[in-house]
Amino acid sequence: MPVQRGKEAIMEKIEESIAELRQTFKSGRTRSALWRKNQLRAMIKLITENEERAYQVLHEDLGKHPVEVYRDEVGVIKKSAKYSLSCVEKWMAPQKAHLPLIFFPARGEVMPEPLGVVLIFGAWNFPLSLTLDPLIGAISAGNTVIIKTSELSPSTSSFLAKTIPLYLDSKAVKVIEGGVDVSEQLLKQKWDKIFFTGSPRVGRIVMAAAAEHLTPVTLELGGKCPAIFDKLSKAYDVKTAVKRIVGGKWGPCSGQACIGIDYVLVEEKLAPLLIDLLKTTLKRFYGERPKESKNMCRVVNKHNFERLQKLLEDPLVAASIVYGGSQDEERLFIEPAILLDPPLDSQIMTEEIFGPLLPIITLNNIQESIEFINSRPKPLAIYAFTEDESLRRRILSETSSGSVTFNDSIIQFICDTLPFGGVGQSGYGKYHGKYSFDTFSHEKAVLRRGFFPELKPRYPPWNDFKLKFIRLAYDFNYFGLVLLLLGLKR
């Protein structure tokens, strides 16, 4: 009985919140440029005034160093909010549409309008940036919002729940905390948009629930993002490429990132060089004893620690470890590990790793990387370190992924002028910058016409002449204009 009452209380709170948000949206105040800009300014102020607290809560949840917090969380939000603030009025303005001459005299435009009440699910691995960045897009587009923070990052969740109402319009933006039961209740409601960041497994649940109300969704999922390491002519370039691979694998949340490098494809003859340079770079970044380093995140919780342990339980996988991999269950820490050619049918090569384990897969020829990538679900990102222009063209034309980055890793995520999103199993929809605004907007077509001149052949009774006339009008727009100007009668 207490459990049932608890669910009823959760449902009642959710329904009250949604009702208030709908009333706020109906009032029209979120549609004004002034409201949107004031909220974006408040977002910047929130982050600026609570920067030290952000460092604290992210260290409590994930063990993140302040430099990593600023790079991946605080700085991302400041940059995104400032960019949206500078562009939002331009984004809101109706855009003139080109009309064929047959529509003369008329004019058309595309007018962005907010969708309404939207639901944003935050993520635990970047609990500030992956919660507030979508919120920036939703606010810029003029929506009211409920944010469901991740229960797996409780300190950050509590921080957002307490802080956001102090800065943002509390009748238009609300934060709801809780676990799976709260998420389930939220998904039973009717929304105008759902934005979800997380795993493909949960993404399917979200999409199925959204289908009940025909609610549009954006799903930011993930997958096994490959890096292709090709031969490079300069020693400096080789070292730089390896440094960027290390940064793209272990830099973002110790590998717990959807855009992080999941595995590396390399020609067999280059593998020893790659492994030696990876070892050297890891020691340079994290020292001889990474467990004592303050620069590495820990695994988020015991469940995920045990999941990563399970990936290494296969004896053939354990035998493929060529560096690292030591574990400290009490501290939820796993040392960066390099694996050489683990079995391709093992879990570590069929499931997204989401941790500090890096398989290296050797090929006879780097061109085989195309077929290898295509044999697996479409990744969120492909990273290719190569000087070979023909390989670059093949990657772009013969593979499908959310993004492709040449000679670097994960940097595409912070570029506001590029869309961020997946394809196929790695996600649906995109955001960042103008793309965030578009994600939370509906582009409404507007056509304005006058009453003169009127073309009689538009109306019945039909005959062969009118059919010919309509064909000409569709096939040759300028003929339609001539006939209109001549004032042809039936």
**Active site positions, annotated:** 220, 258
Q: How large is the greatest C-alpha to C-alpha distance in the chain, in angstroms?
A: 90
Q: Which residue in 261, 266, 267 sits closest to 224, CA to CA?
A: 261
User: Which residues lie closer than 8 Å to 480 by C-beta, 6 or more apart?
Assistant: 100, 101, 102, 104, 472, 473, 474
DSSP 10-66: HHHHHHHHHHHHHHHHHHTGGGSHHHHHHHHHHHHHHHHHTHHHHHHHHHHHH---H
Let me know: does 56 contact 168? Beta carbons within 8 Å.
no
Tokens of 257: 């990132």
Instruction: With residue 273 as reference, give the H or E element that holds it.
Output: helix 271-286
Taking the C-alpha atoms of residue 380 and residue 398, their distance in angstroms, rounded to an integer, is 15
User: Which residues lie closer than 8 Å to 466 by C-beta, 6 or more apart?
Assistant: 457, 490
Q: What is the DSSP letter of 127?
A: T
3-state class (DSSP) for residue 77: helix
222: left (phi over 0), alpha (psi -120 to 50) or beta: left
Taking the C-alpha atoms of residue 3 and residue 9, their distance in angstroms, rounded to an integer, is 10
Taking the C-alpha atoms of residue 363 and residue 41, their distance in angstroms, rounded to an integer, is 51
Taking the C-alpha atoms of residue 179 and residue 455, their distance in angstroms, rounded to an integer, is 63
Taking the C-alpha atoms of residue 363 and residue 202, their distance in angstroms, rounded to an integer, is 34
Radius of gyration of the chain (CA): 27
DSSP 344-389: TTSHHHHS---SSEEEEEEESSTTHHHHHHHTSPPPSEEEEE---H
3-state class (DSSP) for residue 69: helix
Tokens of 424: 């196929």
